[in-house]
Each structure stands twice: as C-alpha cells, then as structure tokens.
Amino acid sequence: MTIDLTMLGWDAERAAALGRRADHRPARVARVDRGVCTVLAADGPVRATLGGGLLAAAARDLTRLPCAGDWVLLGTWPDRRVTVEAVLPRRTALVRRTAGRQATGQVLAANLDAVAVVEPVHPSPDLGRIERLLAVAYESGARPLVVLTKSDLAADPVAVARQLEAVAAGAPVLPVSVQGGTGLDALRAEVTPGRTLGLLGPSGAGKSSLVNALAGAPVLRTQEIRRVDGKGRHTTTWRSLVVVPGGGAVVDTPGVRAVGLLDGAAGLDRAFADIAEIAEGCRYADCAHTVEPGCAVRSALDTGDLPVRRWESWRALQREVAYESRRRQSRLAGERRGGWRTGRRRPARPEPPSPGGL
C-alpha cells in the first residue's frame, strides 16, 4: 500500500524542514495510543514508538509529544524498529487546558486547516458551549465553523442556524443531517486534497457519524444518544485522523467533558468580536464597562443590542483566561528559580470554577 502524502498536506515548505536528515522519512500521525503512534508514511501505515530525544523534550513540555495530525520524522533501526524522532513545526494546534495545577496545555490535534464546532440541534444548542469551543478554535489558528448536527430533528434548521449566527461571530453555521443526507456537501468542501478538517464537540453530537459520512464508509463506531435526556455516550476515546477518499483528512476528537481555556486571549477576542467592536465606542480606552460615563457596552446592554447572556459568558471566559495567565506566569517564574526541580512543595492554588461541560 502506498500513500500520496501531498494529498494529506505534505508540501515544499514541510519538505524543507527535513534539512539534511536524509536518514529520516516523513509521515503524518493518525493516532497515538499509550505512547505508540500509528503514522501514515509513503509506503503505508506504520507503528512507531517515541525516540529518546523526543521523550526527553516531552518531559520538559508535554505539548512536544506527537498528536493526531502532526507531521513527524521517522527513524528506522537495524532491527527494523521504527521510532518517531522529531515533530515538525505545527502550523495550527488545537489546545485545551489540562486538569491539575501546573497550568499546562494538551494538544488535541495539529495542522488543521479548519475546525468545526459540532453541536446537536436536539434537544437544543448550548450557546455557552459553542462560544467556548469557538474561542478554542480561533486560538488554534485554523478557520472555525459551526456544524449543527441532527438538523432533521428541528422544524426549521435554517432558522436555528440564523439565530446562532450572532453567537458564531462570523464563523459559518452549517445545519447538517447525516440521517437525512442534507448539508453534507458544504462540509465536504472543507475536506479537499491537502486540507484537514478537525471536529470538536460533546459526546453524542454526531462527530463519528460525520467522519463516516465524509469517508464514505463506517470507519468509526457510532452510538445512539440516550432518549431520556438527549445526552450522548463516549464512542471515540482517542483522537484519530481519517483519510478521505479523493484527498484530505478529517480528525475526530473524543467528546471531552470540559475544554478549559489557556492564557491566550486572541481566540477569545475573535470569538467575541461583536463585543470588542462595541467597546471601541466607549469614551475611555481603559473602560471597565461598569460605571464609567460614555460606556458603549453598558448602553448596548440597556438597549438590548448586546444580550446579557452573551455579555456574562464573555466576562466569565475573560476571568478564566486571566486566571490561567497568572498561573502560567507563576509556573514559569518557579521554573526560572529552580523551584520545580528541587522538589519543594508549594501551597495549592484554588482551581477556577469548572468550565462549561461537554
């Protein structure tokens, strides 16, 4: 079996990153399972373990570990053992905050051209969750969009999509029904030769069904949502890259229970671009939007031009990002002082409120 890597996004720029490493060959990570990578090389799928240098780098920074979508360099040893020796620079990275106190991130997927926030129409779209995931998608550097699944369960899915356009902040909103076969052409346009689409959303949203529809075959297991409360069960428990016939790929992510934001504010600003635009009309550049005279934000809230729910969602996410920024700065300062290496125990900082659930 041979694989045309250019159909998966390999290009001259990435080839240049090989440098003089003639003894290494490129491949793209399809899946990582307990430290063993399934990668797609020119001669077909390969199972590879992590090289020593990569493990040493990951010990200092877990984001250095390979993940689905990464382009890597493989080394082959005399005993035919294959190892991942390096991860090539990522053009985009979908990152969430990890649980725990070390203020670190976990890369869910890399080198995505577009990220689809997948949200089921039934029982009703969770606006706060869409806003949170859009912030993560914008922060990744990929093009975000919103996919409303199970649209055949809505009386007027187009009307629902229009209502969500204000929440989507400029990202396309696509109502899709795998069961009814509607809306899939617009989504297929995001998966073309050399391009990769990532799916991000809760369990039971229909991500695996979307992958199967795009791949034209049942490559991932699916499971019906519970009829009692409309909630889904975990079917995909790992992140996986699936090659789409004709070129391109799609990355499915498991329905994680929560996606915490890191300290990057750029994605949040883009996800709430409407509020940033309103704030530009404030009399004072450092307006806190509380009691200052000439506050355009307070005025928009009073007139209803800015929904209170969206304003409160933005404020909560802003506080979360600010908190993570302080935690990260504290961790970096501790590393510079050597405190993390000496094993000295530091008092635990209180965790922020749990992020909106997935």
Tokens of 315: 């404020």
**Residue 130: closest CA among 160, 164, 96:** 164
Tell me the C-alpha distance between 288 and 281, whole Å.
13
Distance CA 121, CA 152 (A): 9
CATH 1.10.40.50 fits 266-342, yes or no: yes
To the nearest 10°, report the CA torsion of 218, 219, 221, 223.
-40
CA–CA separation, 69 vs 227, rounded Å? 34
Question: At 219, is the secondary structure helix, strand, or coil?
Answer: coil
Check residue 6 and give left, alpha or beta (phi > 0: left; psi -120 to 50: alpha): alpha
pTM value > 0.75: yes
**Cα separation, 349 vs 342, whole angstroms:** 19
Predicted confidence pLDDT, tens digits, the chain (358 residues): 899 999 999 999 999 877 666 678 999 999 999 889 999 999 999 999 999 889 898 888 888 899 999 999 999 999 999 999 999 999 999 988 765 555 567 899 999 999 999 999 988 899 999 999 999 999 999 999 999 999 999 889 999 999 999 899 889 999 999 988 899 999 999 999 999 999 999 888 999 999 999 998 777 655 444 333 444 444 444 679 999 999 999 999 876 555 667 656 788 889 999 999 999 999 999 999 988 999 999 999 999 999 999 999 999 998 888 887 777 677 667 767 765 444 444 444 444 444 444 4
Q: Give the right CATH number for 94-252 from 3.30.360.10, 3.40.50.1950, 3.40.50.300, 3.40.640.10.
A: 3.40.50.300
User: Is 5-89 CATH 3.40.50.300?
Assistant: no
DSSP per-residue string spanning 340-358 = HHHT---PPPPPPPPPPB-
Which tokens go with 176? 């899709």
Tell me how far CA of residue 106 lies from CA of 95, 98, 285, 320, 331, in angstroms. Answer: 5, 6, 35, 17, 16
Is the preceding peptide bond at 123 cis, omega within 30 degrees of 0? yes
| The pair of three-digit structure tokens given for residue 154, joined into one six-digit string | 């809505």
Contact status, residue 66 vs residue 84, Cβ threshold 8 Å: yes
- pLDDT, residue 238, reads 63
Torsion of CA 260, 117, 271, 351, to 10 degrees: -10
Name the burial class of residue 23, with classes exposed (0-12), middle (13-18) and buried (19+) by CB atoms within 10 angstroms of its CB. exposed
219: number of Cβ within 10 Å: 16
Ranges of each domain in the chain: 5-89, 94-252, 266-342
Number of alpha helices (DSSP H) and beta strands (DSSP E) in the chain: 11, 13
**Residue 42 in contact with residue 7, Cβ under 8 Å?**
no
Residue located via tokens 């577009």: 114
Half-sphere exposure of 152 (CA within 13 A, CB side): 9
CA distance 355 to 358: 9
